[in-house]
Structure 1
Amino acid sequence: MKRATIIIILVLLNSIAFAQRIIENPEFEVTNSGITHISKIELSKEATRIHIHNKFIPKWWMSFEKDIFIQLDNNVKLNVLDIEGAKFDEKITMPESGEKTIVLIFPPINEGVKKIDYNNVVFGISLVEGAKKSKKSSEIPGYVSKWIDNELKKEANKPLANLSSKEFFNESTGRLIGYIKGYDVRLGFKTGIMYTHNDITREDYPVVVEIHPDGRFEANIPLTNPSYSYMVFKKSPVKFYLEPKQTLAMVLDWDEFLYVDRMRNTYNYLKNITFIGPLAKTNEDLNKFDDKPFDYKIFSKKMKTISPQAFKEEETVEYKKNLKNLEIYLKNNSISDKAKILLKNKIDLEHANHLFDFVSARDYYAKEDPANPILKIPVENDYFNFLQNLDLNDQSLLALNEFSTFVNRFEFAKPILVYPKPNEKNTSRFIPEKTFEQYLELEKIEITENDKALRESNKNKAFKSAAEVMEFQKQFSETYKNASKAYSKKYVEPFISIPKPEKVTMEKWQLRDSIVKNVFHLEKNLVYEVIKIRALDFDIKRTNTENAHAYWNELKKDITHPFLKKEGERMVNKQFPINTFQNNSLADNLNSKVNISATTLQNKLPEGKATDIFKNIIATHKGKILFIDFWATTCGPCVANIKQMKEKRKEHKDNKDFEFVFITDESLSPLEPYDKFVKEQELENIYRLASDDYNYLRQLFKFNGIPRYVVIDKKGEVINDNFPMHNFSYLLNGILEKYN
């Protein structure tokens, strides 16, 4: 009896102990949130109470969804039951302290469970009281150090002596390697991405940075010149400077990623980086400089409230402050010459970009608010005299990420956007042997009264686009359409010649040369030559081989830099190979009435992981032409175009020849707005990919920005990897005719 009593007491004591078990600040293995901290876990037979102590930016908000869960170490998943201190799916505004605790209530956990994961955010949370967290080594593992050393030894070339070197332009690759301390595959990302581009030719070629399970990462970066840019891991930008034929190693710390996550409005780039290799010193010097982030919210307000001249005066004051900040930094630190030049040029370009941006959007805002007197103040030509303070022959400008914005704003600045007037020549008009009315009478074809009314209205109707013409023509009856085709085939087509390709002239550049000299008061310079090469691809798109090469032979007389000439030559030969002076693809297109911009040469996708991901997506659509839309709910133009195409999608629903396919990145299209938008727009064939997979598709189809449209034929090969979706109606029939 006594023994039985002791056993009962022990059982009760154990029960009470379990019911009251509290773990303060439980240890965990890894987390992917700098905001969410688990401060306490209360375990009982009735429930599991998890205290979430949130540290975030004061006055910012967060929320907790009803689908929160915990995963036990026996793979059992428990969904949340209730919440204390907030409501599900409602905004929680952070107090001035930036800290707030919420309690989430889950079902009870079996006593044998030792670890749990919280909502794919915090992993390996210990339920053992007094458990000691394994110390994260501040040292790089020996085998990682050895790997880095071996990779650096593979590169025998020395870095550039200086940024004015004749070797500055060099089409080659740079190699990026490194290690993330504290990385764990459970963090949910296996890649980073670098949005690489060629500023001379406008070509994009984003590069996936692969992360190994142990935290090592590597990538080969195609370059045309030194580049001070950035890559992105888990939405966090990592700045670095790299040169062609050089290898740069860096060591990152996952704890800093978490800090960036928490302080996202004030801490934009990782600073705690260890650089290794010949370029380490330059990178350290660049990384240590504390440049203040530009406030674009205040900037947007100024566009509507102050004049261009007033803004220019304010911006000049800020520019001088930034230069003073740099002067102090250079005085207090021993800085490499490359870093000095890049930091100064970066400040100069940012200043110029702010001035360009201020006036570039004024027309848009003026249409939105036509009564605003500030937006009616003209931009005088002398506003642009800041360009005279820049050394536009300095090739090192191209090493900076800010140059891409600068050259784009320069080439589309209002004063320089002048075009030659179209030639007005008297052309003889072909008159068919019989009119369409005579043909109808001869063939005894009866058309409807509606057809007659439409035909009459067409005489005085002005169309804004080819798409509008096609929409108008759809209103005619099938009898009328068939008669019109037959009439054209018999009385029109045999007697007219195929239109000649557009001839490209130098007149546009003669006008712009004058603007550069007389309005901007600039001599011809390297940046202006870059602008001419950047326009080359567009200028020759609608011509043929003979005209394209004739135009290039004239244009290159204005290009003095040998590398720019080489790039221009490559762009012309890319579209129109020099080995033939007969544009067969153009002739084929015209003969079959396929617009030249509808198609490119078919391309087989290269073997590799990216193609495997893509082929897995399109496998279920085999046997159809696919119009693929890379988009996101957070992309305004993407959303607008999908809305505009809604009726068009309905019109072609269940078409046997082609389908629309929509692909997005889960990080760019949050689930709730994504589901709502997909339902509202009645989207089918939708794919919301993990960011890693989406990064590979960016690399495969070479696009940095979205929306991006790709057309795939029935065999899974590329028809066009940059399709003009705004011309869908106009180009569709030609594509179906050629690729069906």
Structure 2
Amino acid sequence: MSFLLLCFVSLTFCKAFQDLKSSQEISLESSTPSVKAPIINGDTARLEGYIKGYDSSLEFTTGIIYVEDVMEHASFPVVVKVFPDGRFEGKWPLLFPSYTSMKMGNHWIPIYMEPGKTLTMILDKEDFEEGAKRRDSQYQFKHTQFKGPLAQVNSQLQGYKFEQFNYNRLEDQVKSYTPVEFKERQMTLHQKQMERAKAYIDGNDIDPKAASIINNEILTKNAIVLFDFEARRRYLAERDTSASLQNNEVLSKPVSENYYDFLQEMPLDDKALMVSDEFSTFVNRFEFSQPFTSNNPTFHIPLRQPDKDLLLDFLDQKGIELSEMDRKLITISLEDEKTKEDSLFLQAHEDSLQLFAQKHGPILKEFFKRSMKDQQPSKLAYYKAYWSNRDSVLVHQLGLKDSWTYEVTKIRNLEFALDFIGPEEAGEYWESLKAGLNYEELQRKGQEIYDKVVLERESQPYAIEGEGAEIFKEIIAPFKGKVLFVDFWATTCGPCVYTIKKMKGTREQYKNKGDIAFIFITDIKGSPEKKYQVFIDDQELEHSYKLSVDEHNMLRQLFKFNGIPRYVVIDREGKVYDDDFAMHNFNAELPRILAANPSEEGVKTGD
């Protein structure tokens, strides 16, 4: 590859790859529903209640629930507000019934919710104190009461204690057991858990909804363990080069295709499986399991040298005045076979070539983009082959039929695929994919995703509104008229710390330009005081704010993010310009952002 092309590549980042109403009762029977039955419709779910004995000693004023749309592969946090008298309440849009958990203080409390219904809970301060004493975030509360139409299901779920796999022992088991041995042990434990669940269900007149959830929780947990064993085994075999592992006979044993036959016993065509708290993890492990990923087609872009005469003509057409030295540098740089003298000449003038690439970056980008486009294989053909391969693996290797769960994986992948393929061929891809979907709900969801990604690609800045808005507005008030890059981070977050360190030079570059500001927001739990102070001093974070956990929860809900780092761009008017900014593309994106947010004086994007 020519030095000039390398210069261009180094300057360019590759960017790849409601309130709905329904009065219909949603069936959660374990029998397979009709293929065409549109039983998933959204509405608002409401949680309310109070904590007996609540006072400031509990040190929390909010709870938080992570709401997932597993079909769209998306999630967002919902804050449950706790009032001074101990009352609490929260509401959120919910597409389908969900068995999930609320985190309040340091404790996880399981709850079952349905769209259009209200769950009332009575909690007790004693349980929070006992859980804290035991240092057990999963401590099963003893005094919880449920009221309302969902009370019976929640009470019955609370009465059943699920067994958890000890992941601390997984790596030792990977090194000690062959896949056949581990699976045999795990399936024996699984069978005992299913028998215990059956005894609980049969002996306590359990509601069919609760029974379905209990069974599906056990099924999905078991599948996740088996997937994780294989994945960890593969990781160690491929990446750990220590002699002890390289000579480990257990790791040399292959995984047979029938290792995955546990999937044949799962109700993959039952939409009720999606209600399980573990479904999101299960479907992730399923779609990225070895039988599928090992059969993915390759997408290889062969980079050929651009034609030097075409480039010189292109630069002439653009009115770029080239000196004789410029022409010589371009010509030699793009030669397929270089002499020793050519290489020495390029080394001697490396700075000049780099300067030329920086000065004419946008025009070179346009030329190389055109040149490389002709070399690219069809992205549409790649994704058609991708699903053709997976369809074959599903039937011929896994021995499974098409199902609700398998088609959910196609919708979960849709947004990424559309973005990768591009708007020109996105419509053809979606129509091809939609033709193979047997569920009306998935067709509707896919159409929503297509409309969002392709038809509504250019989003407009929006005002900051909702609970938590005042907290955020107070933070950004001193920076009125500036373009703000807001970083939600923590000292305990490795990627957060890495990016902040990497951006130190960039922050320094724009420190005195007046038009841009970098703001950092964390919370007291994620950033312990001593490490926090040392880090912000070392990184010279001028505008850093450390909030309480409750305040931080409100901002997570406001911007709908669960994980960090999360980057948000605020325009000069105080509106949200981008609520999920790719900070690694800062240098490439800044000119576009500033062009969309001009100021009277303007700002230079680099010296």
Same fold (TM over 0.5): yes
Shift of 1:303: 3.5
Question: Which residue number in structure 1 is paired with residue 292 of structure 2?
Answer: 416
In structure 1, the partner of 2:395 is 517
Question: Alignment partner for residue 519 of structure 2, among 661, 669, 691?
Answer: 661
Q: Deviations over 1:659-702 (max 9, x none)?
A: 33221122222222322333344433211111111111111111
Q: In 2, distance between residues paired with 1:630 and 1:527? A: 34
1:404 Cα deviation from its structure 2 partner: 0.5
Deviations 1:11-65 (A, max 9, x none): xxxxxxxxxxxxxxxxxxxxxxxxxxxxxxxxxxxxxxxxxxxxxxxxxxxxxxx
Q: Distance in 2 between matches of 1:254 and 1:240?
A: 18
SS of the residue corresponding to residue 431 of structure 1 reads helix
For 1:384, give the aligned amino acid: Y
1:620-659 alignment runs, 5 A limit? 620-659=478-517
Task: For 2:333 and 2:175, locate their aligned partners in 1 and report how far apart those are by CA, in whole Å.
Answer: 47
Higher RCO structure, 1 or 2 (CA under 8 Å, sep 6+): 2
One-letter amino acid of the structure 1 residue matched with residue 296 of structure 2: Y
Is the CA contact (8 Å cut-off) linking 2:109 and 2:138 kept in structure 1? no
CA displacement 1:615-636 (0-9 Å, x = unmatched)? 2222233333333222223333
Match of 1:367 among 226, 233, 239: 239
User: SS at 2:522's partner residue?
Assistant: strand
Identity %: 36
Per-residue deviation, 1:707: 2.1
Question: Structure 2 residue aligned with 1:251, among 116, 119, 122?
Answer: 122
1:676 aligns with 2:534: yes
Deviation at 1:207, TM superposition (A): 1.1
Shifted more, 609-618 versus 564-573: the winner is: 609-618
From the superposition, tell whether residues 551 and 156 of structure 1 become closer, same or farther in structure 2 (CA, over 3 Å): closer
Deviations 1:104-153 (A, max 9, x none): xxxxxxxxxxxxxxxxxxxxxxxxxxxxxxxxxxxxxxxxxxxxxxxxxx
Answer whether contact 1:250 1:274 (CA < 8 A) is retained: yes
Q: Contact (CA 8 Å) 1:159, 1:279: kept in 2 or not? A: no
Note closer, same or farther for the CA distance 1:279–1:436 as it changes in structure 2 (3 Å cut).
closer
Question: Quick check: 2:122–2:144 contact (8 Å CA) kept in 1?
Answer: yes
Q: Deviations over 1:483-527 (max 9, x none)?
A: 6469869x9699999999985342211111111111211111100
> Are residue 264 (structure 1) and residue 141 (structure 2) matched?
no
Contact 1:192 1:234 in 2 (8 A): yes
Distance in 2 (CA, whole Å) between partners of 1:502 and 1:181 is: 62
The equivalent residue for 2:267 is 391
* Cα distance change of structure 1 residues 319 and 457 upon mapping to structure 2, 3 Å threshold: farther
User: What SS is found at the alignment partner of 2:468?
Assistant: helix
| Cross-structure match for 2:222 | 351
User: For this pair of structures, how many residues does the alignment match?
Assistant: 552
Larger Rg belongs to: 1
- TM norm structure 2: 0.80
Unmatched tracts of structure 2, length 5 or more:
1-20, 339-348, 599-607
Structure 1 pair 660–413 and aligned structure 2 pair: CA distance change class (3 A) = farther
Which of 429, 436, 439 pairs up with 1:558?
Answer: 436
Q: What does residue 49 of structure 2 align with?
A: 178
Change (3 A) 1:685 1:487: closer
Give the Cα–Cα distance (whole angstroms) in 1 for the partners of residues 369 and 588 of structure 2.
Answer: 23
Distance (Å, rounded) in 1 between the aligned partners of 2:467 and 2:181? 53
1:352-380, Cα deviation, whole Å (9 max, x unpaired): 01111222234544424443134554433
Secondary structure at the residue paired with 1:237?
strand
Q: Contact 1:178/1:250 (CA < 8 Å) preserved in 2?
A: yes
**What amino acid does structure 2 have at the position aligned with 1:367?**
R
Aligned-pair CA distance for 1:267: 4.5
Supply the distance in 2 between the matched residues of 1:208 and 1:266 (Cα, whole angstroms): 18
Matched, 1:202 2:44: no
Shift of 1:392: 0.3
SS at match of 2:413: helix
The structural deviation recorded for 1:434 is 4.7
How far 1:564 moved relative to its partner?
A: 1.1
1:289-300 to 2 correspondences below 5 Å: 289-300=160-171
CA–CA distance in structure 1, aligned partners of residues 532 and 337 of structure 2: 45
Unaligned ranges ≥5, structure 1: 1-154, 462-472, 578-582, 586-599
Q: In 2 relative to 1, CA 338–443 (structure 1 residues): closer, same or farther, beyond 3 Å?
A: closer
Q: One-letter code of the match for 1:666? A: I
Matches within 5 A, 1:8-27: none
Contact 1:236 1:269 in 2 (8 A): no
CA-to-aligned-CA distance 1:691-737 (integer Å, 9 cap, x gap): 11111111111112222222222222223222233333443444344
Q: Counterpart in 2 of 1:609?
A: 467
* CA drift at 1:243: 1.0
Match of 1:220 in 2: 91
Change (3 A) 1:641 1:298: farther
Segment of structure 1 superposing worse, 554-563 or 728-737: 728-737
Shift of 1:655: 4.5
Q: How far apart are the structure 1 equivalents of 2:283 and 2:369?
A: 48
Partner letter of residue 297 of structure 2? P
Q: How does 1:298-377 map to 2 (within 5 A)?
A: 298-365=169-236, 366-371=238-243, 372-373=245-246, 374=248, 375-377=251-253
CA contact 1:602–1:717 (8 Å) conserved in 2: no
For 2:73 and 2:373, the matched residues in 1 are separated by 32
Q: 1:727 to 1:180 in 2, by over 3 A?
A: same
Q: Which amino acid aligns with 1:569?
A: Q
Task: Answer whether contact 1:230 1:237 (CA < 8 A) is retained.
Answer: yes
Instruction: Determine if contact 1:157/1:246 at 8 Å carries over to the other structure.
Output: no
The answer for the alignment partner of 1:687 in structure 2 is 545
CA offset digits 1:155-200 (Å, max 9, x no partner):
9968645446757411111111111111124543221111101000
* RMSD (CA atoms): 4.0
SS in 2 for 1:515: helix
Match of 1:14 in 2: none
> 1-side partners of 2:122 and 2:350: how far apart?
62
**Counterpart Cα distance in 1 of 2:63 and 2:221:** 26
Q: Which moved more, 1:299-308 or 1:155-164?
A: 155-164
Q: TM (normalized to structure 1)? A: 0.67
Q: Secondary structure at the match of 1:232?
A: strand
2 CA distance for matches of 1:364 and 1:641? 26
Q: Is the 8 A contact 1:660 1:685 kept in 2?
A: yes
Partners of 1:162 and 1:512 in 2: CA distance: 29
Letter in 2 for 1:401: D
